[in-house]
Structures are given as structure tokens and as C-alpha cells.
């Protein structure tokens, strides 16, 4: 209820601050019999890890995950899966500046007002470091969905600043440090980001996340429509300010005769809907977009106030991510995976006799 649990049937509850003893999570409700190892989780954790290129922060977080329970002889047992990552880099630092004033654009101000006190070390609970546990848990969901339905979930960065991808070529995404799907724009991106780094500033980004081979039937109207829950999952990622499903804001200027996806005996003729109709998956690929703000931890001085309300200036020292959107790629995949996993179980609870299936259009 205090917001640290995601999902209703396949639940992930996380704990941990950026500078505490460690991070952890409990996955509850995982079906028994799934083969899973720490290496399965580590793969996505490594994609999220900072310090992998010149365009991400140079902080070192080995992020080595340990499975504490719920797996026996290589398989999930149906009991809760406990995960822990110990924080290795907690050297004491001088937080006096950050402790006495609120960084603009950060959660410092709101946490302090909400709870009446705050762990000011490196952002505490509001640090993006917490997303490591989402990525670890998402890897479990991804593996289940892949094995059960052949579902593939992939995200990429489709825009940074004014540089937009003009095509989506999944084959190049993992081969460049921007997770960018259009290799004709890599040079422009390199130039943009070097410039941003030089200015000690940061820049926003747009991501696209796609799930293919999703069976028809996932999603619970009225309030927990699949698209509503996807919006919840993605808007819950640090720095996200906008979410679209399918054509998103482009629908504002569309006519009904353009937007509706017509049906043919071979399937849908288009996918303006982004794979969701009436809040339920249609069997088409699910397509969502998200907008991430530029990080507020920058080297450009800004106006703020201190705890007593006096005017002050603030500047974030040390390396930071010039574009936090880049490292959000595995997080977006994880959140979509967790959403689909949860909805698969919700569907199955009520409708196990109507097996959700890959879209055979002519039969329920």
C-alpha cells in the first residue's frame, strides 16, 4: 500500500537505498517449475549498469545479484524468491550541502515534506539505483513469458534531444551505446552527447518498447485495462513524464476511418491501437512509447532554498548521466514484462478454461 509492491498476482516488493547496506526484492507468486539462475538475472542487470560507456555515469556498481530462496535444484518452487544485491560502494562522503538544501527537479523537497525526514545520501530511496531490482525481477518474468508463449520484449531509444530514429532496426540496438535502432544517426548522437557533457548539462529522451507474440485476452477492464496498467508501469519509472500506447498523441488529429484497425481473415490490417482494444490485448504486438526528462543532477548551477527557506545556489558535483533515458532501456522492458506476467496470471485465474492463445482469429 505504501507503493513498494508491483503487481497483484506476480508481485515484486523491493527495498533499499542507494547508500544503505543493499537492495533487495521478493517475487511472490512465480509459477513453480521455471528454470532460473542468477546468470539469467545478471544479463539484464549488466545492460542497466552504469560505467559501461562514456555516455553514462562512471560510478561503479557491480550489482551482483544473489537468489536467497524460492529456487531448488535450479527450478522455482512456487515459494517466494528472495533477491539481494549488496551495496559495495558506500564510502562515506560529505553530504552536508545536499543535506541542507533541496536539489531542484529532485525528490528531496517532496520526500522531506511527506515523511518529515529523509535519507539524503545520494537520493536515498528516490535514487534510480532502486531500479536494479526491477530489472532483476523483470528478467524472471521475461523468461517465463518467453518459454510459455514465445513473447519477446525489446526496448530502444527512439529520440534524444532533436535526433530522431527514422527506422527501427532491432539488429543494431544492442550494438551501440545508445540502444538506438537507426545506425545512420549514431554520429549525430555522439556529437550531441559530447556537447551536453561539455556543458555539464543533460538531455531528454524518448523510448519505444515492444512485446511481440502476446496472446489475445490479457487485460482486465474496467480500471485495470492492459494499457492503463502499462501506463502505470512505465510512468512509474524514474524521470518518465509521458506514455503512449499505439499511435498515442497522434490520434488527436486522426479520423475514425483512419484510426480503426480493420480485420481480415489473415489478421488485423494495421496496428494503430498498439495491440490493445477495450483494454485487452488483441494478439498484435504491444507498442508503447515513453518520454524521459533530462536528469536534474547537473553541473550547471541552479537556484534553490535551504531547509530554513533561504535562497541558495546548488550544483551537482561529479559525473552524472548526460541522458538517463539510455540506461532506462532494460527498465522499460522489465516493467512491460512484469505487467504482462501479472495480467497473464490474472487472466488465467478467472478464465483458465478459455486459454489465452496466439491469435487464431476465428475461435475464442
Name the minimum Å distance from CB 152 to its own copies: 21
Q: Is 221 annotated as a binding residue?
A: no
Contacts 24+ apart (CB under 8 A), 248-254: 248/274, 248/289
Q: Exactly one of 56, 57, 176, 282 binds its own copies (CB under 8 A); which one?
A: 282
Contacts 24+ apart (CB under 8 A), 311-314: 312/101, 314/97, 314/101, 314/103, 314/104
DSSP 41: H
Query: Toward its own copies, which CB reaches closer, 171 or 186?
Result: 186
* Under rule CB under 8 A, residue 315 binds its own copies: no
Sign for the CA dihedral angle at 294, 298, 304, 307 comes to positive
* Under rule CB under 8 A, residue 269 binds its own copies: yes
Q: Which x/- pattern, by CB under 8 A, does the window 3-42 give for its own copies?
A: xxxx-xx-x-xxxxx--xxxxx-x-xxxxxx---------
Q: Is 54 annotated as a binding residue?
A: yes
Cα angle 131-137-138, degrees, rounded to a multiple of 5: 85
Tell me the C-alpha to C-alpha distance, in Å, between residue 301 and each of 84, 104, 272, 296, 315: 37, 10, 43, 11, 5
Cα angle 50-177-191, degrees, rounded to a multiple of 5: 110
Query: Toward its own copies, which CB reaches closer, 81 or 139?
Result: 81
For residues 224-263, which are near its own copies according to CB under 8 A?
A: 224-225, 227-236, 240-263
* Under rule CB under 8 A, residue 185 binds its own copies: no
Query: Toward its own copies, which CB reaches closer, 2 or 91?
Result: 2
* Under rule CB under 8 A, residue 221 binds its own copies: yes
For residues 59-118, which are near its own copies according to CB under 8 A?
A: 66-70, 72, 75, 77-82, 84, 102, 104-107, 109-118
Query: Toward its own copies, which CB reaches closer, 171 or 272?
Result: 272
Q: Is 296 annotated as a binding residue?
A: yes
Name the minimum Å distance from CB 239 to its own copies: 8
- CA–CA dist 154, 151 (Å, integer): 10
Name the minimum Å distance from CB 40 to its own copies: 17
- CA–CA dist 173, 330 (Å, integer): 12
Cell of 235: 510512468
Q: Is 101 annotated as a binding residue?
A: no
> Does residue 297 come out as left (phi exceeding 0), alpha (psi in the -120 to 50 range) or beta?
beta
For residues 124-183, which are near its own copies according to CB under 8 A?
A: 124-126, 130, 159-162
Q: Is 297 annotated as a binding residue?
A: yes
Q: What is the DSSP string of 140-155?
A: HHHHHHHHHH--EEEE
Annotated binding residues for NADP(+), written as ranges, equal: 48, 54
- List residues forming the annotated binding site for FMN: 125-127, 238-239, 278, 293-297, 319
Amino acid at each position: 500500500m505504501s507503493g513498494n509492491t508491483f503487481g497483484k498476482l506476480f508481485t515484486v516488493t523491493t527495498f533499499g537505498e542507494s547508500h544503505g547496506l543493499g537492495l533487495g526484492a521478493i517475487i511472490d507468486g512465480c509459477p513453480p517449475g521455471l528454470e532460473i539462475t542468477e546468470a539469467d538475472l545478471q544479463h539484464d542487470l549488466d545492460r542497466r549498469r552504469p560505467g559501461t560507456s562514456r555516455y553514462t555515469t562512471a560510478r561503479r556498481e557491480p550489482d551482483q545479484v544473489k537468489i536467497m530462496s524460492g529456487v531448488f535444484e535450479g527450478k522455482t518452487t512456487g515459494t517466494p524468491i528472495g533477491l539481494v544485491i549488496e551495496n559495495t560502494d558506500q564510502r562515506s562522503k560529505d553530504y552536508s550541502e545536499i543535506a541542507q538544501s533541496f536539489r531542484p527537479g529532485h525528490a528531496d523537497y517532496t520526500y522531506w515534506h511527506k515523511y518529515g525526514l529523509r535519507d539524503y545520501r545520494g537520493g536515498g530511496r528516490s535514487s534510480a539505483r532502486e531500479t536494479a531490482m526491477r530489472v532483476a525481477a523483470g528478467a524472471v518474468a521475461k523468461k517465463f513469458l518467453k518459454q510459455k508463449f514465445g513473447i519477446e520484449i525489446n526496448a530502444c531509444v527512439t529520440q534524444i534531444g532533436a535526433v530522431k530514429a527514422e527506422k527501427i532496426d532491432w539488429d543494431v540496438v544492442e550494438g551501440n551505446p545508445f540502444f538506438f535502432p537507426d545506425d545512420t544517426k549514431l554520429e549525430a548522437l555522439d556529437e550531441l552527447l559530447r556537447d551536453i557533457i561539455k556543458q555539464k548539462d543533460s538531455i531528454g529522451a524518448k523510448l519505444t518498447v515492444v512485446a511481440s507474440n502476446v496472446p489475445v485476452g490479457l487485460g482486465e477492464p474496467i480500471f485495470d485495462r492492459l494499457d492503463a496498467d502499462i501506463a502505470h508501469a512505465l510512468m512509474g519509472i524514474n524521470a518518465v513524464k509521458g506514455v503512449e500506447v499505439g499511435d498515442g498523441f497522434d490520434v488527436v488529429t486522426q479520423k475514425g476511418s483512419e484510426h480503426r484497425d480493420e480485420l481480415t481473415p489473415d489478421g488485423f490490417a494495421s496496428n494503430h491501437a498498439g495491440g490493445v482494444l477495450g483494454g485487452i490485448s488483441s494478439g498484435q504486438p504491444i507498442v508503447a512509447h515513453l518520454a524521459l526528462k533530462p536528469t536534474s543532477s547537473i553541473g550547471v548551477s541552479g537556484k534553490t532554498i535551504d531547509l530554513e527557506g533561504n535562497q541558495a545556489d546548488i550544483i551537482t558535483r561529479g559525473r552524472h548521466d548526460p541522458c538517463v533515458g539510455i540506461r532506462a532501456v532494460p527498465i522499460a522492458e522489465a516493467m512491460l514484462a512484469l505487467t504482462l506476467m501479472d495480467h497473464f496470471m490474472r487472466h488465467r485465474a478467472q478464465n483458465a478454461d478459455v486459454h489465452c492463445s496466439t491469435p487464431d482469429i476465428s475461435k475464442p
